[in-house]
Amino acid sequence: MGYEIERITFCVIVIILVFNATKFDKVSLKLMGLFKFKAEKKN
């Protein structure tokens, strides 16, 4: 269940990054940092 939610969240983030890469550069960097932090915390 948790894995599916994370996959959906990741897909949403990727879509947002692709469509708004230039507008929300700082926001995207924060999201990527947050995602990397979560991934590192798991491992």
Domain locations along the chain? 2-42
Mean pLDDT for the chain? Answer: 79
Specify the higher pLDDT residue, 24 or 12: 12
> For the residues 9-37, what does the mean pLDDT come to?
79
Model confidence at 10, in pLDDT bands (50, 70, 90)? very high
Whether the model pTM is above 0.95: no
Cα 26 from Cα 29, distance rounded (Å): 5
Residues in the chain: 43
Written as one letter, the residue type at 4 is E
| Rg of the chain in Å (alpha carbons) | 11
What pLDDT band is residue 3 in, cutting at 50, 70 and 90? confident
